[in-house]
Amino acid sequence: MAATAVTASGSGVRAERWRNALILVVTRRCDLRCAYCPTVKDGEPDLGADDARRAIALFVERYGGGDAKLFGGEPLLVPEVVKAAVDAAPSEVNVYLSTNGTHLDEHWIAWLHAHPSVTLTLSLDGVARDHDGLRRGSPSHDRVVALLPRLLGLPRFVVTQTIAPSTAARAADNFAYLRSLGVRRFNLLPGYYLPWRPEQLEALNQSFSAIAAAFERAWAAGERLYLRNLFVRAPVAFYNTGFVVDSDRRIYANNLILAGNLDHLRERFALGTLDAPPAAEALVAAGQEAGGFLHDTLGEHVMQSTAAADAALTRLCNRLYPAYFARRERLAEA
């Protein structure tokens, strides 16, 4: 699963927690080619197990620790690197492992049960027509859905539902479909840095409104339903800011650099390497500036589209906070 964030970046968003993040791009390789994926995948090295251990140690000792996110490409293509990172992470570091599900098997499920602190984030966008349609000739829906009963039994399991411009009108139906399969923990991710048309943005807004209503009804009825977006925010829409270690061992303040249309900026924005890492202050400062160069590179239309999609996600979160906090208070009183 690509290193996509699940953020609402609007300044009005209240986040319950805001933790440092390590984004460990263990490999850029992937056997899928999702229509919305910007990550450059071919001709790149993988991280090694020692690199993963080094990154975790740096994250804790130099950058203060927090959440460690194992991204790709598809991380399960380098199992020894994933396992080295998890084994090296101290208990106070929350580890999130993203996957497209194509390499999940009984071995991995048993391993996840044996590592209950790891949160597995699975990419599943909805019904087969939409999920596989976005994967351009590499269908994975049936395989992933067949594994769901086992995955739903994992201690920590979240589904990322990516919403592309072409599927925005069906996003609420796809959300309902995923709930019908038993999914209760969601990330919602509008396709980012893509040219959304006005009618597609309108469809996204309507779908988010329907999804918000579904959350409100579920919470009012006492149902357990979780939306990770409520607890995550970032200064640059839809990307992860923090201690980013790319698969070639270079260090950045933001994983924007994975995107093919920003590839030429790697040299300019690299802050160091695992052998020569930047000071914590330099990393924080660069993270705050990360979005500044996007406009010139991506153009007005894409930036406006992204801002509008991000605003839709932020509105969804802001609508849900009152119901979320009311439900939390009811649970505390019970």
Binding site for ligand SF4 (CB under 6 A): 1-2, 30, 32-34, 37, 39, 72-74, 100, 123
- Least Cβ distance, residue 326 to ligand SF4 (angstroms): 35
- Min CB(36)–ligand SF4 separation in Å: 7
Closest CB to ligand SF4 among 33 and 113? 33
Q: How many residues does the chain have?
A: 334
Tokens of residue 268, six digits? 């300019």
Tokens encoding 177: 């479909």
Nearer to ligand SF4, 37 or 49 (CB): 37
Residues ≥6 apart with Cβ < 8 Å to 190: 162, 163, 168, 204, 238, 309, 310, 312, 313
Whether residue 153 is preceded by a cis peptide bond, meaning omega within 30 degrees of 0, is: no
Cα within 13 Å of Cα(4), Cβ side: 26
**Of residues 58 and 147, the one with the C-beta less far from ligand SF4:** 147
- Could you tell me the smallest distance in angstroms from the CB atom of residue 34 to ligand SF4? 3
- Our CB check for ligand SF4 shows the closer of 37 and 320 to be 37
Closest separation in Å from C-beta 216 to ligand SF4: 30
- Cβ distance to ligand SF4 smaller for residue 26 or 298: 26
Those residues whose C-beta lies under 8 Å from the C-beta of residue 322, and which sit 6 or more positions away, are: none
Smallest separation (angstroms) from ligand SF4 to the CB of 281: 32
Closest CA relative to residue 131, chosen from 98, 89, 102, 92: 102
Cβ 333 to ligand SF4 shortest distance, Å: 42
Nearer to ligand SF4, 147 or 214 (CB): 147
E-state strands within the chain: 21-25, 67-71, 94-99, 118-123, 157-163, 185-190, 226-227, 241-245, 250-254, 272-273
CA angle 178, 315, 301 (to 5 degrees): 95
